[in-house]
């Protein structure tokens, strides 16, 4: 008999797969009028909105009404000035779902993502994490997680362009209480486990391609403190969490860029849980657990450290020493 959790996981995998198919079809085909800039100057494409609509549609049709904290806001498409963008979103959604949904229905699906993250149970979604990588034709992720009483209990990461060990591209990582598994194409899922190098010297860092997301010089200094000499593995989005989970790298740092900055929960929830269920450890820069009980941001955490777990304490100590200027 299917349990509620297995039903939720199956729906989440299907939702992420559907969104990943949509994004893969849209990537590289963006034309004038298909992007806009939000107040924080981050690019948003038709695919961001469409992917959120598809995930919300699949989840609610499979699971019923739910709370979803999504990155995108339907209000950004409601103005007549965004008619071209809105039409593009509706077209992508209908093509993926095989529907003839109206613009109003698609906006309603996107609007499901307007929850505030203060209920006992809610989902959180980044429909395209790593939009700049997406626009470059490179790495990005669809990141979906279920949070109950401030704890992530289920996470799915879709990484459509991620290179696999067998030479293929694209994988979906699904994590629950039973562990972490990766699905590549139509193949049966394989268990995913972190690497556990015996020596810190053999550890590899994973960091953002975008220098605005992390200070590469700071990461290099931390690596030097730890005696790590390998070149960093640079990749966009929460694919970094996938890379740590399956052993492509052992450390991912997301360090505070300013004192008042707080990370958004959708940027880390799914990836964090994927790493943890693969045997790794994820904390903030002080070593404290990430607390998802305070809305759309981590109000009580600074930065993020994800590792394979073997040298996590040493990494935290090196990060704190660097941040304190010791």
Active site positions, annotated: 48, 131
Q: Dihedral angle at the C-alpha atoms of 65, 48, 138, 96, nearest 10 degrees?
A: 70
The first and second tokens of residue 2, run together, are 């299917």
**291 and 298 in contact (C-beta within 8 Å)?**
yes
**45 and 35 in contact (C-beta within 8 Å)?**
yes
The first and second tokens of residue 134, run together, are 């997406």
| Cross-strand partners of 282 | 306
Rounded CA separation 53/57 (Å): 6
Q: Which residues contact 229 (CB under 8 A, 6 or more apart)?
A: 201, 223
Rounded CA separation 121/325 (Å): 40
Rounded CA separation 263/156 (Å): 19
């Amino acid at each position: 008999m299917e349990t509620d959790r297995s039903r939720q996981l199956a729906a989440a995998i299907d939702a992420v797969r559907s969104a990943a198919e949509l994004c893969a079809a849209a990537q590289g085909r963006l034309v004038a009028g298909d992007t806009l800039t939000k107040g924080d100057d981050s690019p948003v494409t038709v695919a961001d909105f469409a992917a959120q609509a598809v995930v919300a549609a699949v989840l609610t049709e499979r699971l019923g009404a739910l709370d979803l904290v999504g990155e995108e806001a339907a209000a950004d498409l409601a103005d007549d000035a965004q008619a071209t963008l809105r039409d593009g979103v509706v077209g992508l959604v209908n093509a993926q779902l095989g529907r003839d949904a109206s613009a109003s229905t698609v906006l309603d699906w996107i609007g499901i993502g307007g929850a505030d993250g203060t209920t006992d149970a809610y989902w959180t979604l980044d429909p395209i994490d790593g939009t700049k990588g997406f626009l470059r034709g490179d790495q990005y992720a669809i990141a979906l997680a279920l949070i109950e009483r401030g704890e992530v209990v289920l996470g799915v990461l879709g990484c459509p362009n991620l290179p696999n060990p067998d030479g293929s591209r694209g994988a979906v990582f699904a994590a629950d209480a039973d562990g972490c598994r990766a699905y590549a194409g139509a193949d049966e899922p394989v268990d995913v486990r972190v690497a556990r190098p015996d020596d810190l010297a053999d550890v590899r860092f994973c960091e953002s391609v975008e220098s605005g997301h992390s200070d590469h010089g700071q990461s290099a200094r931390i690596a030097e403190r730890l005696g790590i000499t390998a070149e960093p593995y640079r990749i966009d989005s929460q694919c970094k969490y996938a890379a740590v989970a399956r052993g492509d790298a052992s450390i991912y740092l997301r360090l505070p860029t300013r004192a008042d900055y707080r990370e958004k929960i959708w940027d880390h929830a799914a990836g964090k849980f994927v790493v943890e269920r693969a045997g790794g450890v994820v904390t903030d820069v002080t070593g404290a657990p990430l607390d998802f009980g305070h809305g759309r941001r981590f109000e009580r955490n600074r930065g993020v450290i994800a590792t394979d777990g073997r040298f996590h304490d040493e990494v935290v100590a090196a990060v704190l020493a660097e941040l304190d200027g010791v």
